Amino acid sequence: MPRIAVIGGTGAVGNVTLRLLRERGHHDVRVFASARSAGREIEGLTVEEATPDALAAAGVDVALFSVGTSASRELVPHAVRGGAVAIDKSSAYRLEPGIPLVVPEVNGGRALEHDGIVANPNCCTIPLTCALKPLHDAVGLARVRVSTYQSVSGAGAKRMEELRAEPVDDHDLRMDWTWDGDETDEESKIRAEARKILELPDLPISATTVRVPVLVGHAESVWIETEEPLSAGQATELLAHAPGVRLVEVPSPGAAAQTDQVLVGRIREDRAAERNGLVLFLACDNLVKGAALNAIQIAELVLSRVAA
Amino acid sequence: MPRIAVIGGTGAVGNVTLRLLRERGHHDVRVFASARSAGREIEGLTVEEATPDALAAAGVDVALFSVGTSASRELVPHAVRGGAVAIDKSSAYRLEPGIPLVVPEVNGGRALEHDGIVANPNCCTIPLTCALKPLHDAVGLARVRVSTYQSVSGAGAKRMEELRAEPVDDHDLRMDWTWDGDETDEESKIRAEARKILELPDLPISATTVRVPVLVGHAESVWIETEEPLSAGQATELLAHAPGVRLVEVPSPGAAAQTDQVLVGRIREDRAAERNGLVLFLACDNLVKGAALNAIQIAELVLSRVAA
């Protein structure tokens, strides 16, 4: 039975991580969080304080981190020092050379090349690469454009409570990210991470990221140009057999909530493209496949090597 | 003092039409609606039943229609028979050859070429063409892609009440339009109407339309390729001087609500484009500039000819 630690277990993603671990039969689990939450009970477990020494001494095989980027930078090395493989959901290590950035259905083999840390991608990059990978393998990606519809749970449990408390008349779209030049840092993350995961360092890709007043579930409107021609029917056939993907007529966050799959639909030819253009729409549960589930799938890949 | 009739004055757009007419100094106004609403008071006016004979005998200069497509088809000809110029907000006449489809800031001159009917475009097409026109005039449009974020008020007052009554946990994205082949009819309208208004019958343009759980205000994420190069700075300069447009850092439906302008921002170069690519984001009040105000502006153009 693998020993697993969840760090940041009291947050929106941490909660889902603990539930999914239980549902997938992982029962040797310890949960860590900040001093403020230490002593609380969650999913029948007592929260321990996530100090460097506690993590180094935890004696676990895998440490799943769902904390902010600066906390990850501080704590992850100590879990690794203690012998754990750290699966980190923050952006701290995603683009670091030599650290695998993994979506199991897309580049699962890379998870086994770790040196103690595997990074979990951004919640928009995960479903996007699940949809792009089978198309790229078949005909090559030439360029990608994405508009996102991201739920507030991506900004944390506190923002969910704020949306619940806000009068519906005040519900608005927001772009609540940090600027990175003329883009949001979310937009530059999607580009850089998709390039790394797909191993296409020069893929032309641009995103516009938008927060919508939905609690759970991210959606993306995607324009794709491919190197070789691919009809909408052929793309549909490829995606029907793509791991982690489920075809539906109209994907929506509500339909994706609590499911493991990336919902893909509205696949059609792009009438605006000069050549080889496709349009599609996708949705996934940003807390499940967009975060907690993807990290657990990475952990299971890593543990399967330990067991073998 | 021009005599104006508002048909469909009890709906979401009709209400805004009556308010804007008052604010703009139009005081000789009659309001018509279905038999169900006849006799009600609205903005100090008694609602009259919109029958063919009542409209033919109304003796008005302009009749502003905010009713469904089938009601427009039935009633508009009778208002015209009675001597009024009909400004129709439904899709009934928009694509009919010889009937002007007008955004005053974009093709206002066409309003004067009417033969009794002027059509008002779709609530997404209006702000889109306001942003595209100055770019086209400067460097030519090569292709356009749009993802929409449309508020529920675009689907009528009843849908607004439903959203207000719905638990926030159920708020979702929807695509609540009719299918037109592999597109929604909203998507094909945006293409066909933008082509007609911009007088670019072959403009490559594709849209993905999405309803978001926001009460008022539509937003659009837009990718543009131009024939000649145009930097983000040059595009910003052009849009800063475009009629009906106001530049803001981050446009949102909330910021656009109750304003007359199309808010445009996030103007940047498209890193995914092969050449001459721009990205921008826009928002406008779909009930004001997206519908009622645009129709009143058309009426004022038509009336200025009558007065002259």
Best residue in A128, A183, A210 to probe B by mutation, most B CBs within 10 Å? A210
Report pLDDT digits (tens) over A53-66. 999 999 999 999 99
Q: Establish whether A78 is a catalytic residue.
A: no
For B126, the token pair is 């209006």
Say whether pLDDT at A307 is over 80.
Answer: no
In this model, does residue A95 exceed pLDDT 60?
yes
pLDDT confidence band for B53 (50 / 70 / 90): very high
Active-site residue identified among A26, A78, A114, A123: A123
Chain A: nearest CA to B115, how far in angstroms?
33
Q: What is the pLDDT of residue B305?
A: 76
The CA distances from residue B129 to A10, A291, B187, in Å, are: 47, 39, 15
SS3 of B17, please? helix
Report the residue of chain B nearest A203, measured CA to CA.
B272
Of A26, A136, A218, A284, catalytic = A218
Q: Taking CB atoms and an 8 Å limit, are B213 and A213 in contact across chains?
A: yes
β-sheet bridge partners, residue A276: none
Tell me which chain B residues have a C-beta less than 8 angstroms from the C-beta of A217.
172
Q: Which residue of A has its CA nearest to B168?
A: A164
Q: Each residue of B256-273: b (16+ CB within 10 Å) or e?
A: bbebebbbbbbbbbbbbb
Residue A1 pLDDT class (50, 70, 90 cuts):
confident
Percent of chain B with pLDDT over 90: 97
pLDDT tens for B195-233 read 999 999 999 999 999 999 999 999 999 999 999 999 999
Chain B residue whose CA is closest to A255 = B172
Contact B182 A213 (CB under 8 A): no
Q: Is the pLDDT confidence value at A305 over 80?
A: no
A245 in Cβ contact with A131 (< 8 Å): yes
Q: What is the mean pLDDT of residues B68-93?
A: 98
Quick: pLDDT tens for A148-202. Answer: 999 999 999 999 999 999 999 999 999 999 999 999 999 999 999 999 999 999 9
Q: What is the pLDDT of residues A2-14, one digit of tens each?
A: 999 999 999 999 9
- Put simply, the answer to whether B164 touches A168 (Cβ < 8 Å) is yes
Residue A192, both tokens: 């850089």
Name the residue with tokens 């007008």.
Answer: B102
Task: Tell me how crowded residue B237 is: count the other CB atoms within 10 A of its CB.
Answer: 16
- Rounded CA separation A213/A174 (Å): 9
Q: A271, A280, A281, A286: which to substitute to probe chain B, counting the most B Cβ within 10 Å?
A: A271
Confidence (pLDDT) at A306: 64
Chosen from B147, B152, B163, B182 to mutate, greatest number of chain A CBs within 10 A: B147
pLDDT tens, position by position, A97-124: 999 999 999 999 999 999 999 999 999 9
Check CB contact under 8 Å for A272 and B215. Answer: no
Examine the pLDDT at B307 and tell me if it is beyond 80. Answer: no
- B81 pLDDT higher than 60: yes
Cα atoms found within 13 Å of the Cα of residue B288, Cβ hemisphere only: 20
Is B184 in a helix, a strand, or coil? strand
Q: Do A173 and B212 touch (CB under 8 A)?
A: yes
CA distances from B193 to B115, B174, B183, B218 (A): 19, 23, 15, 17
Largest Cα span, chain B: 60
Catalytic residues of B: 123, 218
8 A C-beta contact, residue A226 and residue A276: yes
pLDDT at A179: 97
* CA-based nearest distance B88→chain A, Å: 29
Q: Give the one of A145, A149, A164 whose C-beta lies nearest to B272's C-beta.
A: A145
User: Would the pLDDT of A31 be above 60?
Assistant: yes
Residue A124: active-site member: no
Name the residue with higher pLDDT: B162 or B307.
Answer: B162
Residue of B131, B230, B139 whose CA lies nearest to B190? B131
Contacts of B189 in chain A (CB under 8 A): none
Contacts of A47 (CB under 8 A, 6+ apart): A9, A10, A31, A32, A33, A37, A38, A39, A40, A41
Percentages (nearest 5) of helix, strand, coil residues in chain B: 40, 25, 35
Return the residue of B nearest to A275 by Cα. B204
What confidence tier does A83 reach under pLDDT thresholds 50, 70, 90?
very high
Residue B202 token pair: 């072959």
The overall average pLDDT reported for chain B is 97
> Count of A–B CB contacts within 8 Å?
145
Cβ-defined contact of A206 to B213 (cutoff 8 Å): no
Euclidean distance between CA atoms B25 and A258, whole angstroms:
54
- So what's the pLDDT on residue B1? 87
Q: Which chain A residue has its CA at the smallest distance from B275's CA?
A: A204
User: Which chain B residues are within 8 Å of A266, Cβ to Cβ?
Assistant: 175, 208
Interface test with B, best of A212, A225, A263, A269 (most B CBs within 10 A): A212
Task: Look at residue B308 and tell me whether its pLDDT is greater than 60.
Answer: no
In this prediction, residues B103-110 reach a mean pLDDT of 98
Whether B11 contacts B286, CB under 8 Å: no
For the stretch A209-266, pLDDT in tens is 999 999 999 999 999 999 999 999 999 999 999 999 999 999 999 999 999 999 999 9
Total-model pTM:
0.97
